[in-house]
């Protein structure tokens, strides 16, 4: 596949890595080693499918490394192996860069790594978004109902801008929205995201928003951090981006 502007493809044996061109000399030796070495200061991150960690990479870069892991029933049989000619880490890199180009707030992708051919393992390396927490944690830490409503409004605006930009997130949930200082500042994990040439249609928006709602119910089953006011704040802010909420 064609890499986005500003990225260089490095290869060594069965390993290939698309890396920001200005970081190729710094990150190349680490990315092309097999297996990919976990830095000594790596700190595991909760959530997701496991394996994701924060670390300081060569050159002092603070980054999040997410090895690809299977989900669902297939994870019981195959843990981290994928099959396909178009490797998912490279597709995620391209989708994230395009989302950013269209004005979506994302974590900058530093590199995407693939080891193998048609059968492969992969990892995505993104710049750490400093001082952020997943939206669900920010809601739990909010001091009062007004602060929670403000967070929800910020989330509605962020998701709405993404949909206006024509990006359908494949796993929209409250752990993939990152908040800081009472506002959502980035959306992460664009694996299997669909990039459309125009704003998302109603059906695609509804699927995304239903997935987000399921995430909220799963993470907050007792309604401790969300109520009608929080939901209304999200809907109003989402609608202000120019698309009906469809939720």
Q: CB-based burial of residue 211 (10 Å sphere; 0-12 exposed, 13-18 middle, 19+ buried)?
A: middle
Residue 121 forms beta bridges with which residues? 115
Is 169 in contact with 193 (CB distance < 8 Å)? Answer: yes
Is 188 in contact with 105 (CB distance < 8 Å)? Answer: no
Q: 171 catalytic, yes or no?
A: yes
| Secondary element (H or E) of residue 92 | helix 88-101
Q: Cα angle vertex 45, ends 141, 158, to 5°?
A: 55
Q: Is 246 left (phi over 0), alpha (psi -120 to 50) or beta?
A: left
Residues near 232 by Cβ (< 8 Å), separated by ≥ 6? none
CA dist 53 and 125 (Å) reads 10
Catalytic, out of 25, 108, 171, 189: 171
Q: Where in the sequence numbering do the catalytic residues fall?
A: 171
């Amino acid at each position: 596949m064609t890499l986005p502007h500003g990225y260089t493809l490095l290869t060594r044996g069965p390993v290939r890595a698309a890396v920001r061109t200005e970081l190729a000399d710094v990150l190349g030796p680490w990315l092309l080693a097999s297996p990919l070495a976990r830095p000594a200061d790596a700190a595991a991150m909760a959530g997701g499918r496991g394996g994701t960690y924060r670390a300081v990479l060569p050159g002092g870069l603070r980054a999040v490394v997410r090895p690809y892991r299977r989900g669902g029933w297939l994870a019981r049989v195959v843990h981290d192996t994928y099959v396909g000619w178009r490797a998912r880490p490279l597709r995620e890199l391209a989708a994230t860069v395009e989302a950013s180009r269209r004005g979506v707030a994302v974590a900058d992708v530093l590199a995407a790594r693939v080891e193998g051919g048609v059968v492969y393992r992969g990892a995505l390396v993104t710049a750490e978004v400093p001082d952020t927490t997943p939206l669900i944690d920010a809601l739990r830490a909010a001091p009062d109902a007004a602060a929670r409503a403000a967070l929800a409004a910020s989330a509605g605006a962020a998701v709405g801008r993404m949909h206006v930009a024509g990006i359908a997130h494949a796993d929209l949930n409250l752990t993939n929205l990152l908040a800081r200082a009472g506002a959502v500042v980035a959306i992460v994990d664009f694996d299997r995201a669909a990039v459309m040439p125009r704003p998302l249609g109603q059906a695609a928006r509804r699927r995304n928003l239903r997935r987000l709602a399921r995430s909220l119910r799963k993470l907050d089953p007792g309604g401790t951090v969300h109520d009608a006011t929080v939901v209304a704040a999200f809907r109003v802010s989402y609608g202000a981006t120019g698309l009906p909420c469809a939720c």
